[in-house]
């Protein structure tokens, strides 16, 4: 009998949390339009507002400052725009400065034209170079409008945590708007928009155990807001038109509440499992390269290169072993290509890399099975090399 498949791609998407499943099953009976004034509509609206409070609690924000979207990509395209307003006064953002290791949803620059986007390099450790950022902002053309800085809190491939607290201070010193992609950090590290000093956070439902199709743009206040991306009936206080996806939003809220309630126990256990995994991989293949192992990382992520093994070959090999892992971002139409993150770190992207990301249902037995599979794959690699 074939072994049960093992899912180790939680950074790609997390399995639906039981709390989110239960909340969504209950929400199936909330058929009223949440923008209607009758009882059925008010019931749906109440559930959405409860979810808004739950997401706000996860991010340290005020509920009124949470705008629901269809996902993190929409939230990024909404906030990455030259057109803002401060209250009712139009405000222009002259240039976007974003790190070279951002997720494609941010790296593409949203609604900014290409000539108004600059990439901030990272060090060989995969950390945004704040000295260069400060130099860039010093040279910013103030006449063009304010600068915007967009830096992720946790890299989706390496798991490396970025110095967003320090970056926020630099951005503020130059009057800039600071945006943080917190998609991979939410539920894995403490998240507080006010403590960070960010003007905006981007988060996603399906990365924390909620359903796909929901995300949020979280703001520190209500005065500074981007020009809406989607126009229409004026839902979400006019920031994002369209009838809210109540089912997904309610599941998102339940997953956010679970992430807050289970934060300590969940992450302590996952970090021990990640360390067990990496120790086992090093014993099985001493030449394995674990990217970012000496720096601060989210507790669940291991991004590694096995010399002589291409990313696509390795991913298929693990899949044949019954393990679902990733070669990096899963948000590029299923492509398995060279890692722009490794390239930005000054490492040869042709080496390839694989990502194992764990979650709150991962067990020691799962990790041991992953180590055994890794050892077999590494062994075949050596045998093939010797035969050649």
* Pairing relationship of beta strands 117-120 and 83-86 according to DSSP bridges: unpaired
Residue 90, strand partner residues: 85
322: left (phi over 0), alpha (psi -120 to 50) or beta: left
How many residues are recorded in the chain? 388
47 burial (CB, 10 Å; 0-12 / 13-18 / 19+) is buried
Please pick, among 96, 150, 216, 331, the residue that the annotation labels catalytic. 331
Distances from the Cα of 162 to the Cα of 79, 116, 178, 196, 230, angstroms: 20, 23, 14, 12, 31
Rounded Cα distance, 382 and 388, in Å? 10
Q: What are phi and psi of 229, to 5 degrees?
A: -85, -35
* Pairing relationship of beta strands 177-181 and 200-204 according to DSSP bridges: parallel
Residue among 259, 250, 111 nearest 179 (CA): 111
Contacts of 214 (CB under 8 A, 6+ apart): 68, 69, 70, 71, 204, 205, 206, 245, 248, 249, 251, 252
Helix residue ranges, H only, the chain: 18-27, 39-59, 72-79, 104-107, 130-138, 164-173, 193-196, 246-261, 263-284, 311-320, 340-344, 364-387
331 is catalytic: yes
Distances from the Cα of 242 to the Cα of 38, 103, 193, 236, 251, angstroms: 19, 26, 26, 8, 18
- Helix, strand, or coil (residue 1): coil
In which element (H, E) is residue 216 found? strand 215-219
Rounded Cα distance, 85 and 130, in Å? 28
Catalytic residues: 331
């Amino acid at each position: 009998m074939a072994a049960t498949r093992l899912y180790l791609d939680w950074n790609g998407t997390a399995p639906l949390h039981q709390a989110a499943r239960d909340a969504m099953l209950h929400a199936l009976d909330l058929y009223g339009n949440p923008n209607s004034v009758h009882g059925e509509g008010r019931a749906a609206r109440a559930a959405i507002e409860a979810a808004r409070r739950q997401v706000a609690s996860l991010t340290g924000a005020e509920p009124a400052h949470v705008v629901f979207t269809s996902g993190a990509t929409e939230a990024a395209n909404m906030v990455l725009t030259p057109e803002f307003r401060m209250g009712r006064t139009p405000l222009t953002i002259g240039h976007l400065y974003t790190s070279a290791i951002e997720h494609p949803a941010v790296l593409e620059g949203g609604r900014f034209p290409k000539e108004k986007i600059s990439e901030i390099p990272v060090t060989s450790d995969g950390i945004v170079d704040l000295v260069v950022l400060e130099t860039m902002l010093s040279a910013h053309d103030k006449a063009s409008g304010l600068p915007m800085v967009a830096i992720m809190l946790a890299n989706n491939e390496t798991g490396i945590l970025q110095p967003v607290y320090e970056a926020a201070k630099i951005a503020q010193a130059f009057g800039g708007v600071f945006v943080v992609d917190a998609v991979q950090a939410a539920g894995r590290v403490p998240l507080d928009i006010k403590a960070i000093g960010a003007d905006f956070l981007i988060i996603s439902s399906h990365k924390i155990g909620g359903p796909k199709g929901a995300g949020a743009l979280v703001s520190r206040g209500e005065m500074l807001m981007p020009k809406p991306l989607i126009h229409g009936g004026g839902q979400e206080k006019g920031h994002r038109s369209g009838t809210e996806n109540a089912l997904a939003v309610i599941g998102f809220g339940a997953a956010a509440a679970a992430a807050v309630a289970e934060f300590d126990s969940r992450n302590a256990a996952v970090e021990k499992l990640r360390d067990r995994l990496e120790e086992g991989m090093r014993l099985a293949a001493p030449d394995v390269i674990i990217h970012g192992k000496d720096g601060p990382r989210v507790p669940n992520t291991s991004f590694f290169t096995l010399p002589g093994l291409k990313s696509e070959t390795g991913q298929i090999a693990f899949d044949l072993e019954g393990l679902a892992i990733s070669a990096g971002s899963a948000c590029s139409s299923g492509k398995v290509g060279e890692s722009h993150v490794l390239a930005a770190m000054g490492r040869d992207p042709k080496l390839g890399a694989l990502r194992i990301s764990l979650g709150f249902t991962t067990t020691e037995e799962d990790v041991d099975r992953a180590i055994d599979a890794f050892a077999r794959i590494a062994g075949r690699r050596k045998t093939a090399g010797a035969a050649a």
